[in-house]
Amino acid sequence: MIRPKPKKKLTKRQIKEDKLVTAYFKATDWLQQNVRYVLYGIGGVAAVLLITFLAIRSHRVAEARAAVELARADLLVDNGRYEEAVGILESIVEKYGGTGAARMALLDLADMHYRLGEFDLALKYFENYVKKHGGYDPLLTASALAGKAACLQGKGNYPGAAEFFVKAYEKDAKGFNAPEYLLNAAMAYERAGQLERAKALCQKVIDEFPKSNARRDAEMVLARVSVRLEKATG
């Protein structure tokens, strides 16, 4: 947990740097608001260069501001102020879409609603992440798919949960969480009564991830499922 640190007196250098940062943001904001008037006084090539410069600067400013807001939300979560954190995360997603911080905020927002037991809202945000940002990072996309699976499981939809745990595995099959995704899918299939599928996935964990922490649990689930299958066929 991140704890607030005691306030320290700012040095002259820090005060100067803070003033420079403030001046930079003010100048950038002014330029963006008055770009039309500035363009009237310069040529075509210079105008293109200015627009390009503004676009790059605008994106960097948005990234910086979104990152600051995301850090604020993280601190609120660490202090148990979940509702305030949700409000900030929603604001980041709405105001700074397209930034890396907004993508992370979308996942954090989904996770927050999941923790609060608000599975429908969590599903909405996990699905939005996959739809809008699924091509950025296999690990994060797999996490979003697994989050969707967890929500479906929370709603009692075990076949659907198993399906999305498998999709999470397929999205990041070499990742650290891959065996856990398969194991979770197997257990969801077990709860859904689809024992053959559960058995196959348990065996896959054992065969493909023999050194993983999930192997022992997979062996236990496999033994349990095998007994149920024997009883069902006997």
Q: Are residues 214 and 234 in the same domain?
A: yes
The whole-number pLDDT of residue 223 equals 96
pLDDT band at 23 (very low <50, low <70, confident <90, very high): low
Helix residue ranges, H only, 1-43: 12-33, 35-40
Do residue 94 and residue 169 come from a single domain?
no
Residues 216 and 165 in one domain: yes
Kindly report the CATH number assigned to the domain that includes residue 47: 1.25.40
Portion of the chain with pLDDT greater than 70, in percent: 73
The CATH number that applies at residue 218 is: 1.25.40.10
Query: Could you tell me if residue 156 is inside a domain?
Result: yes
Q: Which residue, 74, 98, 133, sits at the end of a domain?
A: 133
- What one-letter code names the amino acid at 182? L
Split into its structural domains, the chain has a count of 2
- 172 and 205 within one domain: yes
Mean of the per-residue pLDDT values for the chain? 79
**pLDDT the model gives residue 34:** 52
E-assigned strand segments in the chain: none
Task: Determine, yes or no, domain membership for 113.
Answer: yes
The reported pLDDT for the residue numbered 83 is: 83
User: 118 and 156 share a domain?
Assistant: no
> Could you list the residue range(s) of the whole structural domain that residue 71 is in?
27-133
Q: Judge if 199 and 129 occupy the same domain.
A: no
Q: What angle (nearest 5°) sits at the alpha carbon of residue 81, between those of residues 75 and 85?
A: 65
Both 123 and 188 in one domain: the answer is: no
**Is residue 13 included in any domain, yes or no?**
no
Distance CA 130, CA 109 (A): 14
Higher pLDDT, 105 or 14: 105
> 115 and 176 share a domain?
no
User: What's the pLDDT band for 214 if we cut at 50, 70, 90?
Assistant: very high
Does 129 share its domain with 32? Answer: yes
Dist CA 6 CA 10 (whole Å): 12
